[in-house]
Amino acid sequence: MRYHDVRIGLVAHALHHGTACFEGIRAYWSARTEQLFLLQPAPHYERLRQSARLMRMSLAPTRDELVELTLELLRRNDLREDAYVRPILFKSGEVITPAMDHIAETFAIYATPYGKHAEATNGIRCMVSSWRRISDQAVPPRAKITGAYINSCLIKSEAVQNGFDEAISLTMDGHVSEGSVANLFMLRGGKFVTPPITDDILEGVTRGLLMRMIRDEFGLETEERSIDRSELYGCDELLLCGTGAELLPVVELDRRPIGDGRVGRLSGRLRECYLAAARGESARYADWTIPVWPSAA
């Protein structure tokens, strides 16, 4: 179906109550090989199914079928540039009630050209948000639920309005959680540390890839533990990561420099390695991607 032919009712349940779950999947164009590479679609669709389960929704196609549908969509759009794929499962029934059971559902996938989330060559400036990260006791943050993303909107908007690029949110009990739409890693005392899944983070696909890359490239294991806000001010390097955000080295937090105020050596190296792997240009991480165009595969 063409985009302008899509019709969604004004009274759709998802529009009024945020009852939808979604994913964001990247595809990267490699000018060197003239190939489009779809990055980690299977883990994203596994997470979508988990989100659907939490929302008492049903995702009929198998994981492999969803991957094939995505490849077909990219080919039909003839995309030969960096792209973003958005699968979404939503309550489309026109019922005015917060209850979710027995309401019609619709599943769709769309793809669009998409470049950088942010300019990160020289790093980004962050603040600690006054808005707290949603708690698992209220809304499950490990599920990508559209209604829950008002939390991200408030966090990001506050940062931009105050002259920063991004913000870092804290849990209700004051531990570091994540950025507005990105997981967090810090380098402190020669060790990478990231908040555990119990600190209300999204279980990020890119987060998992970076933990592997940190081990492969630097021979370091990543410690998963709670992080205090004050630890960030004294860390050596800090970065945010996500499928959409990619890798964003943080050079300033709350107007305090991180390290020497420049992109950290290991953060910069990780960013280079990650983008090379995403574009299918790294033999070590060839299993991360699927080539879209059969002729080049």
* Residue of 91, 144, 156, 191 marked active site: 144
Amino acid found at 86: R
- How far apart CA 276 and CA 166 sit, in angstroms, is 24
**Cα atoms in the 13 Å half-sphere on the side-chain side of 117:** 21
In the annotation, is 116 catalytic? Answer: no
End-to-end CA distance of the chain: 27
**Who contacts 252 (Cβ-Cβ below 8 Å, separation ≥6)?**
123, 125, 126, 258, 261
CA nearest neighbour of 270 among 169, 155, 192 = 192
Angle at 117 between CA 111 and CA 119, to 5 degrees: 145
Q: Are 133 and 140 in contact (CB under 8 A)?
A: no
E strand intervals along the chain? 20-22, 25-30, 35-39, 83-91, 105-113, 124-128, 166-170, 176-179, 183-188, 191-194, 222-224, 237-242, 246-253, 256-257, 289-291
Q: Which two tokens stand for residue 271?
A: 């960013």
Alpha helix (H) residue ranges in the chain: 13-17, 41-54, 63-76, 150-161, 205-218, 229-233, 265-278
- How far apart CA 206 and CA 274 sit, in angstroms, is 9
Q: Are 198 and 175 in contact (CB under 8 A)?
A: no
Known catalytic residues are 144
